[in-house]
Structure 1
Amino acid sequence: TTVVVLLFYAYWSIRNGRVRIFNHEIPQEIISRAFIIAVGSAVYIVIAVIFLSLLESEFNFIHLLFETSSAFATVGISVGDGGDLSLCALFSNPSKIIIIIMMLSGRIGVFAFLLSVFQQDKAIHIKFPKGKIYL
């Protein structure tokens, strides 16, 4: 939500060359970071929808996009199947795993999620200060 509001203000104030929100000027670095987050999230959603459309070819693309966006935003809204079930209840197990991954990554953030999955374990070397003990 913060990213969307920041991008809206950035777009609105392009004429001035500065982004001001509630009498605070926002640095260009923050605006660039918000843009990267928004574009990265959109690409992530599109990739997930492409995988879902390959796995679930019997469903409408727009419905798959809605389900994926809802999962990523952790909203909980579903197109449904016309009954009491959500549309995801009719998905195959691999598609459900994609939806679960979208929920998790949307909740903690795409980049934090990808770092936690793909980051190599590095040995942490902690150097403690030397202490003197009087004997």
Structure 2
Amino acid sequence: METLIPILIAIVVFAFQAYANFQKEQEKARKRNFGQPPLPEENAKRPVDVSPKEMTVEQRPSTRHPAFENYSGAIDADEVKRVRKARQQRTVQRLEVMEDTAAGAFGNERDFDLRDAIIKSAILERPYQ
């Protein structure tokens, strides 16, 4: 018990010193002005804003690039009709091919084997060992 008293006194003194130092730092922080920048020194060298002399720049017209390389002349209405018809035929052919592949994928329902599907499902759902 006698050795405990000096230890407690040392802890109390240490806590009091820490609190006193904390209070000193708080007072210093209150005295500081964070919002205002420090005042400039009177003898400090400041950079002089030297405006460059006016430079004359010649405005050159930008070179124009033609929208197309060469002009082949006016397009006839017959040629326009022919191109549209060819484009329409290609889209119809694509649709026919897409319909054939869709019918081929889902049309053969006889290929489905229920027994095989159940076996594979059981294999996939069994616990990993």
Same fold (TM over 0.5): no
Structure (1 or 2) with the greater strand fraction = 1
**Structure 2 length as normaliser, TM-score?**
0.27
Structure showing greater radius of gyration is: 2
Higher relative contact order (CA 8 A, sep 6+): 1
**Structure 1 length as normaliser, TM-score?**
0.26
